[in-house]
Amino acid sequence: MRYRLRTLLIVLAIVLPMMAVVLWLAMHGNEAAPLLDWFGAAVAVSVGILLIGVGVWQIAHALRQMVRWPKVTAVVLRYWITRSEDKPDGQRFYHPVLRFKTVDGHEVTAISPSGYWRKTWPKGGGLVVRYNPRNPRWTEIASVWNLWGVPLVFIGLPVGIAIFQLWGRW
């Protein structure tokens, strides 16, 4: 509960001043044009910083996985099929149900959080996964994209846009 309250306060501290500026701009019309340019840039920079922050957190998660999470070979038992809650007839996503042995010999069955639009691995086939030693059912497929894809997108997108914007000013 305390975490939710803190998150709510942070969001309000960001959103309320932005709403106040938007209202002020709406009331002052053309005389506020220079401030409107500044406000647009401030919003773009804020979103960029937020995306980079998420990317940095994802890099920390990837490094934690590489260092602390053991890598084992799992067997694909079957697939767990999910669909969007608001579209029961929508796209199917296939999550592999995995069975593996931990480093200390315990057998674990887990559903991968990664769902794909097709059945990527054959049933009974092997698949390399990393698992959280504190909670072995928390598994992630050990692939370059699963480990580094999200950080590259969240950091690369705002950095790429910033370079593109600055390129025209040089």
Of 1-10, 92-101, 105-114, 128-137, the range with the lowest mean pLDDT is 1-10
Q: Specify the pLDDT at position 25.
A: 65
**Same domain? 19 vs 88:** no
Amino acid at 132: N
In this prediction the pTM is 0.62
Backbone φ/ψ region at 124: left (φ over 0), alpha (ψ -120 to 50), beta: left
DSSP 116: B
- Tens of pLDDT, residues 48-106: 888 888 888 888 888 888 889 999 999 999 988 888 777 777 788 889 999 999 999 99
Question: Is residue 139 a part of any domain in this protein?
Answer: yes
Residues 74 and 143 in one domain: yes
The boundaries of the domain holding residue 12 are: 1-34
pLDDT at position 46 is: 80
- Report pLDDT for 6: 72
3-state secondary structure of 76: strand
Contact 143, 116 (CB under 8 A): no
| pLDDT computed for residue 99 by the predictor | 95
Co-location of 132 and 81 in the same domain? yes
Please tell me whether residues 74 and 144 are part of one structural domain.
yes
Q: What is the mean pLDDT of residues 125-134?
A: 91
Residue 53 resides in a domain: no
User: Any idea what DSSP says for residue 104?
Assistant: T
What percent of the chain stands above pLDDT 70? 84
Mean per-residue pLDDT, 39-45: 74
